[in-house]
Chains A and B, each alone.
Chain A
Amino acid sequence: MRNSFFSKKLVAVIFLIAGFVSAQNHEGEEVETGAHDLKTEIKEYIDHHLLDSHDFNLFSYTTDEGEHKYVGFPLPVILWDNGLKVFLSSEFEHGEAVAEVDGNYYKLYHNKIYKTDAQGTINYGGHQGEETHEEEAFGEHLVVDDTHPTNEKPLDLSITKNVVFIAAVALLMFLMFRSMAKRYQKSTMPTGLGRFLEPLVLFVRDEIAIPNIGEHKYKRYMSYLLTVFFFVWIINLLGLTPLGVNVTNNIAVTFALAMITYLITTFTGNKNYWKHIFWMPGVPVPMKIILAPIELLGTFIKPFSLMIRLYANITAGHVVLMSIIGLMFIFKNWIGSPLSFLLAFALSLLELLVAALQAYIFTMLSALYFGMAVEEDHH
């Protein structure tokens, strides 16, 4: 009964998201130049989509006069460059202008802020002084951007698109779970949203925390596990909507999450855990000496793999999905476009699964590491 209810809802959500995803590429339709330009355009679009940005762009289009128009709103830029500098990202005019603050000049170049002179000159010191180099790969002629600006980079603590999205998800989660918690004061049975969320909370507790950490010690880790599970899941799902802000395909975000897991593991680890790292019991002494650095390295590799896994899965998913959507506009015929539409649809479904699966695996492995850290000696 509950299952069928869930599956119906799920199907509805899937259709909705698939619709959004297909709506996502109206921007591409505006491109009317040749096939090669279209490919470059799509590649650029995908690159742009994967990157963070300093303003919240909903979509952009080119007018008949060839002018680029952006629809969205600017976000605050916060720089630390011998003092705090705060201004709106609209001053960059999407990288086309130089922003002047307190006598300093800043320019947005490839989504990064560089300190420049008044003209906004970017100095390059990249691949043998060339801006780009060309190479043959995948049987195609690619133009690879190989520039490395040598300009000074101020410490950029701007509220970027991703930060806005993270804050929005945090707010959403807080409101959701706060209202859920409040309802428990009235009755012991979940009502409303709680009916959907409670099985998930119990899933995290009964299927992830208790089997991996143990009946007696799981409680202190529940807050983190629940928060990270819902955070990653919700943010992955929202990344599939037409807003398409992929937060978890930023290595900085997954690094922060993995670092928290690492810190919790390290600070809650008991004597037994450290003994297993530095002086592995039950093996001869020479082996102990060899194992110690390996085990120590292992403690870093574990959160590192957490970070890379989440980042790579989401990034790969989005790249493949967007490439297939892009194919629709390259084929522009009766066979190719519907085919790639169907493929994109199927992939969207897969991505929905991946969104949940990655949240589950991240939480699950975190719980496993916590479990290792608090495991009692039973030799």
Chain B
Amino acid sequence: MTIPDIVGAGLIVIGAGLGIGRIGGQAMEAIARQPEASGKIQTAMLIAAALIEGIGFAALFAA
């Protein structure tokens, strides 16, 4: 693993982290606003987070 690889990996992790964090935060807000829709929000949140995670992993393996 060379230095550029590590920096790239770090950037990927930061990006993915920000993305998933944002999804989680917004989902919390949405649940607080509409607790009765929490099931649907959770499902949508997991799907979105999983997609970002997938991209993140793909990039990590490419790095």
Contact = CB atoms under 8 A, between A and B. Distances in A.
Nearest to A306: B54
A293 to B, nearest CB: 18
A368 interface: yes
Contacts of B55: 305
A364 B51 contact: no
Main secondary structure of the interface of B (DSSP, over half): helix
B7 to A, nearest CB: 12
Interface string B44-60: 00110011011101101
Contacts of A301: 54
Nearest to B49: A361
B57 A365 contact: no
B47 to A, nearest CB: 6
B50 A308 contact: no
A138 B58 CA distance: 22
A143 interface: no
Interface string A291-330: 0000000000100111011001000000000000000000
A304 B53 CA distance: 12
Interface residues of B, number: 18
Interface size class of A (residues with CB under 8 A): 10 to 19
Contacts of B2: 135, 137
A305 B57 CA distance: 8
B6 A137 contact: yes
A364 B47 contact: yes
A306 B55 CA distance: 11
Nearest to B60: A312
A308 B54 contact: yes
B47 A308 contact: no
A158 to B, nearest CB: 26
A281 interface: no
Given A312-B57, A365-B50, 4 more contacts: A301-B54, A306-B54, A309-B53, A364-B50
Interface of A: 135, 137-138, 207, 211-212, 301, 304-306, 308-309, 312, 360-361, 364-365, 368
Closest 7 CB pairs of A and B: A305-B54, A308-B57, A312-B57, A137-B1, A361-B50, A309-B54, A309-B53
10 contacts: A137-B2, A137-B3, A138-B1, A207-B39, A211-B43, A305-B57, A308-B54, A312-B60, A361-B50, A365-B47
